Structure 1
């Protein structure tokens, strides 16, 4: 959740990224690891889980990997989750 929140506004958190525009290209995995204060392999594993779930995309460029939120996938998930958690029309016996 923290990573997705950080990536919601990449310019604010990662505007100092010199290797690529964090909004257009994504945020370098190394910078994400530094921001959440974990080792690079730990951050990579968490980011891979988010990628597999479809919440982020990862673009590789030279020796770096850049991450961006997939806003459509997140929106679709939130819509589905809202429907699943909504009260069902069931009668409760007393």
Structure 2
């Protein structure tokens, strides 16, 4: 995985907010009717709405998170659904910890 893209992804408060929201999809997106937010993911338009940002802006942020490997995006019809990739996030955090402690 490209660590530079992952660092860029984590350098934005908006993208961090997306990851926090997606950590508890049932709590934040329980009203989603089109698919189970836990099992299938959260619709991009609901993520944009929760953040109070325009859909194109949300799409750019979500694309960076996808490039970093922190989310997966699944299309169904005209909708796109996002889920956190917990394994990729854990891998990044372990790498970051090893980088920060290797210097000591």
TM-score between the two structures when normalised by the length of structure 2: 0.83
Task: Give the superposed CA RMSD.
Answer: 0.8
Alignment pair present for 1:75 and 2:94 = no
Please state if 1:28 is matched with 2:39: no
| Max Rg structure | 1
In 2, distance between residues paired with 1:49 and 1:40?
Answer: 14
Regions of 4+ moved over 6 Å: none
Do residues 59 (structure 1) and 74 (structure 2) align?
yes
Distance in 1, Cα, partners of 2:52 & 2:41: 19
> What is the aligned length?
89
Which ranges of structure 2 fall in alignment gaps of 5 or more residues? 1-15
For residues 41-67 of structure 1, give each alpha carbon's deviation from its aligned partner in whole angstroms, at most 9, with x where no partner exists: 000000000000000000000010000
Which residue number corresponds to residue 103 of structure 2?
A: 88
CA–CA separation in structure 2 for the residues paired with 1:5 and 1:25: 17
Moved more, 10-19 or 80-89: 80-89
Between structures 1 and 2, the one with greater helix share: 2
Counterparts of 2:85 and 2:73, CA distance in 1:
10
The one of the two structures with greater contact order (alpha-carbon pairs below 8 A, sep at least 6) is: 2
Match status 1:12 vs 2:30: no
Q: Which runs of 5+ in 1 are unaligned?
A: 90-94
